[in-house]
Chains A and B, each alone.
Chain A
């Protein structure tokens, strides 16, 4: 009786060991194949850089705003049936195979952490920029400060979570969403208004005149 029990325990241990070995083997194979597929070390080909346009501009930037925002897109399974059916699809793609073992209600998710930069100031190319002497006073007319550039680049974009299959279009759309969020943050902080003070400082520094000076912002 005792021997039979020991035998049963041995069989169980061997079976569990075999199962663990299979699981570990599969994990190692998936990791190896994933590493082999990763293009992180593959250099891009040397292609020429084309100059498509050269433009003379005149923008005086007085506020630089650096921001970091999260852009998140989630798609959930509609019901348990949808989850049961589509969850197995994750086994058909090596990129999503490890997601199969997660019992999450999320069908797919893409989360980007995007850093960007906004520049506020005035565009001096407009006709609103003018310098005049009115009697003893120097009148400088400037356009109202505005957002002159909003930059979001791949080097400052990180893919934080990527579950499921996503198109390039979806990623680009999310980067634009992040850009819009940053612009909104800038507006909430009233940055165009805050750009006036350093602008006056720069103009005064450049003019170096003893005459009284008046800066007028044209709307």
Chain B
């Protein structure tokens, strides 16, 4: 009798259980192929390239209830280019008086920032106790923090001053080749930069 009862239960509820199993087993996420692109006309003159190096160091001691810790060291490099946006030069920024030309340059800015995956290297990983290994999502999150730190710290470097200096040299040479005898270039003061 109990056997036939279980058979009855299984007969009635098996489709529901099967549906439940199917629902929870189809967990593979669909990959949405998105191809968004944007093409813009610009006019930036990059004049300085800095190669910066940083060791991204993470010491994850975890919470009081986790046993063990996780450490990771990644060395990475960033190539930063800076220059001036020549398309921002307006007509009133260029004053010509015979063989003399006076030009006001726009403020120097970062034109490109590249943390090349080829130049990233995981130097050390240590996981102890009951802690998990680092997933790639976590590693990428750590690198994002490294990138933010580099972007923040590079503001203390002279990269924008160098870019402005080199842009001034180029502009002077350019107008001298055009036949001007006196070329005066005005840069943007540091406090007027973005």
How far does the Cβ of A202 sit from chain B's closest Cβ, in whole Å?
Answer: 4
Do A175 and B42 touch across chains, with their CB atoms under 8 A apart?
Answer: no
Specify the chain A residue showing the minimal Cβ separation from B31: A111
Bound-state CA distance A172–B135 (Å) is 13
Residue A31 interfacial (CB < 8 Å): no
Chain B interfacial residues counted at CB < 8 A: 96
**Could you give, for residues 68-101 of chain A, a 1 whenever the CB lies within 8 Å of some chain B CB and a 0 otherwise?**
1110100000000000000000000111000101
**Cβ < 8 Å to A, chain B residues 48-69:** 48-60, 62-63, 65-66
Chain B residues closer than 8 Å to A54, beta-carbon distance = 48-51, 162
Looking at the complex, which one of B77, B96, B111, B139 makes contact with A168 (CB distance below 8 Å)? B139
Chain B residues closer than 8 Å to A47, beta-carbon distance = 54-57
Do B117 and A152 touch across chains, with their CB atoms under 8 A apart?
Answer: yes
Chain A residues closer than 8 Å to B55, beta-carbon distance = 47
**Cβ < 8 Å to B, chain A residues 32-79:** 33-34, 36-40, 42-70, 72
Do A36 and B63 touch across chains, with their CB atoms under 8 A apart?
Answer: yes
Question: Contact residue range for chain A?
Answer: 35 or more
**Could you give, for residues 139-175 of chain B, a 1 whenever the CB lies within 8 Å of some chain A CB and a 0 otherwise?**
1111111111110011001000010001000100010
Do A153 and B114 touch across chains, with their CB atoms under 8 A apart?
Answer: yes
Chain A residues closer than 8 Å to B18, beta-carbon distance = none
Specify the chain A residue showing the minimal Cβ separation from B62: A36
Do A194 and B42 touch across chains, with their CB atoms under 8 A apart?
Answer: no
Residue A5 interfacial (CB < 8 Å): yes
Residue A25 interfacial (CB < 8 Å): no
**Could you give, for residues 19-36 of chain B, a 1 whenever the CB lies within 8 Å of some chain A CB and a 0 otherwise?**
000001111110111111
Bound-state CA distance A52–B154 (Å) is 13
Looking at the complex, which one of B50, B53, B112, B130 makes contact with A149 (CB distance below 8 Å)? B112
Do B58 and A104 touch across chains, with their CB atoms under 8 A apart?
Answer: no
Bound-state CA distance A103–B130 (Å) is 27
Do B62 and A37 touch across chains, with their CB atoms under 8 A apart?
Answer: yes
Residue A3 interfacial (CB < 8 Å): no
Do B117 and A151 touch across chains, with their CB atoms under 8 A apart?
Answer: no
Looking at the complex, which one of B47, B56, B179 makes contact with A44 (CB distance below 8 Å)? B56
Which of A47, A65, A170 neighbours the largest number of chain B CB atoms within 10 Å of its CB? A47
**Cβ < 8 Å to B, chain A residues 114-173:** 117, 119, 124, 131, 133, 138, 148-155, 157-162, 165-166, 168, 170-173
Residue B11 interfacial (CB < 8 Å): no
How far does the Cβ of A207 sit from chain B's closest Cβ, in whole Å?
Answer: 6
Bound-state CA distance A205–B52 (Å) is 34
Chain B residues closer than 8 Å to A133, beta-carbon distance = 179
Quick one: given A54-B48, A57-B81, are A40 and B141 in contact (CB under 8 Å)?
A: yes
Bound-state CA distance A84–B87 (Å) is 63
Bound-state CA distance A138–B180 (Å) is 14
List 5 interface pairs A-B (beta carbons < 8 Å), by A numbering: A51-B52, A60-B45, A161-B28, A162-B137, A209-B178
Interface residues of A (CB under 8 A from B): 4-5, 8, 12, 33-34, 36-40, 42-70, 72, 93-95, 99, 101-104, 106, 109-111, 113, 117, 119, 124, 131, 133, 138, 148-155, 157-162, 165-166, 168, 170-173, 175-176, 179, 185, 189, 191, 194, 197-198, 201-202, 205-209
Q: Pick the 9 closest A-B CB pairs, nearest first.
A: A154-B143, A151-B114, A53-B51, A45-B57, A175-B117, A159-B137, A102-B27, A198-B41, A131-B177
